[in-house]
């Protein structure tokens, strides 16, 4: 197995075994999505109207739960130094960690979303768009999150400052993701928003490993 | 294979504070160098500098290999076998999984036999969270062997180990030097390799 796949599978294994990972994010997402209709009330029209935005925000916050440990765990126990000295470059290391985070968090969240959308009385067409938009957008959440995680990896309570760094950067993802769902609900195509979302995701996934690697390098030099 | 590592007028600064300057030394294949000094003298910083994590404030480090000279820190790091303060072990992974992970990451082979050499055969399938400090250190040693690197940087290699463990470290170091490897160790105890030492 290549060093890249080795790190990727280890990170997924660790996410699964530490009890956090997917289970925690999924329960959080499900709870937020359940509480929202309870708080807003049984106005089906209103619920369908806000479903895209609420589920998108819920998914981003759920993905955030495990992001702070992306590099921090490895930094604290010395694994990050050993990974840095391995043949795998820090850029590819960051990329592997982003991929592992998406596979263990973003993908399960996306798969769960149609079920939660039922609680919001979302029609099949916007529900399909919600699914596609999460599939396109959650990799960007993991990628942008990796930048924040790498900046805060040496801070003891870095998890608290992480949302302040990355949530503003994730605004476009939520705007285009929820925007696509709203557009389809209004009888429009919504492809414009999806295209912008896809473009943002591609840029984030391709560029953020470099930013994260630079920040890891900086932290290892301290 | 590395034929020599040369430090020329190295200086290390942490913030405003200078830890050491005008530090020069040379280690050739098969040699060990003990780095000694009081707490906070910069032993670990020197090791981190050699591994390429820290950039020297002044001076340079040159590694001579069969294919040429290496002066870049990150490139030098790819030759380093690292045994730091932290063992780099995950509590959720078993001993053998841990070893397989590092072997695959470094592109080398790992076998259970490696655990025999450090006395962890019986613990092979135990999650690392159940290991004692000394056992963790032994596993870190196995990982160092598995890395297959020729420049060993060891930070307090005898820490947490019992008498048998300490003599094991001695044997492993002697064998590494015997096969043409280089060892630079920050330590308070003598390495017992007939090595030179560097006072910081």
Mean pLDDT of B155-184: 92
ipTM over 0.90: yes
Q: Counting Cβ atoms within 10 Å, is residue A222 exposed (0-12), middle (13-18) or buried (19+)?
A: exposed
Range of the domain at B135: 30-54+73-199
Number of domains in chain B: 1
CATH number, position B166: 3.40.50.300
pLDDT at A19 (0 to 100): 65
Taking alpha carbons only, the member of A2, A124, A3, A133 closest to residue A55 is A133
Number of domains in chain A: 1
Chain A residues within an 8 Å CB radius of B105: 3, 6-7, 82-83, 86-88
Angstrom distance (rounded) from CA B39 to CA A217: 25
Locate B138 and state its tokens: 């032994």
Residue B24 lies in a domain: no
Residue B35 lies in a domain: yes
Residue B130 lies in a domain: yes
Confidence of residue B189 (pLDDT cuts 50, 70, 90): confident
* Residues 119-138 in B contacting A (C-alpha not used; CB under 8 Å): none
Residue B9 lies in a domain: no
Name the minimum distance, in Å, from the CA of B10 to any CA of chain A: 16
Residue B4 lies in a domain: no
Residue B89 lies in a domain: yes
Residue B87 touches partner A, C-beta closer than 8 Å: yes
Q: Which helix (H) or strand (E) holds B44?
A: helix B43-51
Buried b (16+ CB within 10 A) or exposed e, A130-167: bbbbbbbbbbbbbbbbbbbbbbbbbeeebbeebbebbb
Residue B178 touches partner A, C-beta closer than 8 Å: no
CB contact under 8 A, A88 and B80: no
Name the minimum distance, in Å, from the CA of A62 to any CA of chain B: 23
pLDDT at A154 (0 to 100): 87
pLDDT at A21 (0 to 100): 62
For the cut 80, the answer to whether the pLDDT of residue B157 exceeds it is yes
Chain A residues within an 8 Å CB radius of B86: 76-78, 81
Angstrom distance (rounded) from CA A195 to CA A136: 9
pTM for the model? 0.93
For residues B98 and B139, is the Cβ–Cβ distance under 8 A? Answer: yes
**Which ranges constitute the DSSP H helices of chain A?**
3-17, 21-40, 44-65, 69-76, 79-85, 90-101, 107-118, 124-151, 158-166, 171-185, 191-220
pLDDT at B1 (0 to 100): 80
- Which member of A1, A6, A221 has the closest CB to residue B54? A221
Mean pLDDT of B116-135: 91
Provide, rounded to the nearest whole percent, the portion of chain B with pLDDT above 70. 100
Please give chain A's pLDDT, 222 residues, in tens: 899 999 999 999 998 887 656 788 899 999 999 999 999 888 999 999 999 999 999 999 999 988 988 999 999 999 999 999 999 999 999 999 999 999 999 999 999 999 999 989 999 999 999 999 999 999 999 999 999 999 999 888 878 899 999 999 999 999 999 999 999 999 898 899 999 999 999 999 999 999 999 999 999 987
Angstrom distance (rounded) from CA A71 to CA A82: 13
Range of the domain at A183: 3-220
Residue B25 lies in a domain: no
Residue B5 lies in a domain: no
Name the minimum distance, in Å, from the CA of A78 to any CA of chain B: 4
pLDDT at A109 (0 to 100): 95
Chain B residues within an 8 Å CB radius of A84: 53, 77
């Amino acid at each position: 197995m290549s060093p890249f796949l080795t790190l990727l599978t280890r990170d997924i294994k660790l996410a699964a075994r530490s009890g956090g990972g997917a289970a925690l994010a999924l329960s959080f997402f499900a709870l937020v999505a359940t509480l929202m209709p309870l708080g807003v009330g049984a106005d089906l029209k209103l619920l369908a109207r806000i479903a895209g935005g609420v589920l998108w925000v819920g998914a981003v916050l759920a993905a955030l739960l495990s992001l702070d440990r992306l590099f921090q765990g490895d930094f604290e126990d010395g694994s990050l130094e050993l990974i840095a000295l391995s043949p795998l470059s820090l850029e590819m290391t960051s990329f592997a960690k982003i991929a592992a985070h998406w596979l263990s968090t973003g993908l399960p969240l996306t798969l769960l979303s149609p079920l939660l959308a039922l609680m919001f009385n979302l029609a099949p067409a916007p529900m399909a768009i919600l699914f596609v938009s999460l599939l396109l957008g959650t990799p960007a959440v993991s990628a942008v999150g990796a930048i924040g995680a790498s900046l805060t990896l040496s801070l003891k309570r870095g998890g608290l400052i992480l949302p302040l760094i990355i949530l503003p950067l994730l605004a476009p993802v939520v705007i285009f993701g929820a925007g696509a769902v709203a557009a389809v609900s209004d009888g429009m195509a919504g492809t414009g928003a999806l295209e912008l979302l896809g473009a943002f995701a591609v840029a984030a996934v391709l560029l953020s490993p470099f930013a994260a690697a630079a920040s890891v390098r900086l932290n290892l030099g301290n | 294979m590395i034929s020599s590592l040369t430090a020329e007028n190295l200086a290390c600064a942490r913030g405003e504070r200078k830890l050491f300057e005008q530090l020069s030394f040379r280690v050739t294949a098969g040699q060990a160098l003990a780095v000694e000094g009081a707490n906070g003298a910069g032993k670990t910083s020197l090791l981190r500098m050699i591994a390429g994590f820290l950039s020297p404030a002044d001076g340079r480090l040159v590694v001579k290999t069969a294919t040429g000279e290496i002066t870049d820190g990150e490139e030098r790091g790819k030759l380093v076998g690292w045994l730091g303060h932290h063992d780099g072990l995950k509590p959720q992974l078993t001993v053998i999984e841990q070893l397989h992970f590092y072997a695959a990451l470094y592109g080398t082979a790992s076998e259970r036999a490696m655990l025999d050499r450090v006395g962890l055969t019986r613990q092979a399938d135990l999650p690392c969270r159940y290991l004692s400090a000394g056992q963790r250190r032994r596993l870190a040693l196995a990982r160092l062997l598995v890395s297959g690197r020729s420049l060993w940087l060891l930070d307090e290699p005898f820490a947490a180990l019992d008498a048998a463990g300490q003599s094991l470290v001695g044997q492993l170091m002697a064998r590494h030097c015997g096969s043409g490897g280089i060892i630079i160790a920050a330590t308070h105890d003598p390495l017992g390799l007939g090595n030179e030492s560097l006072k910081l």
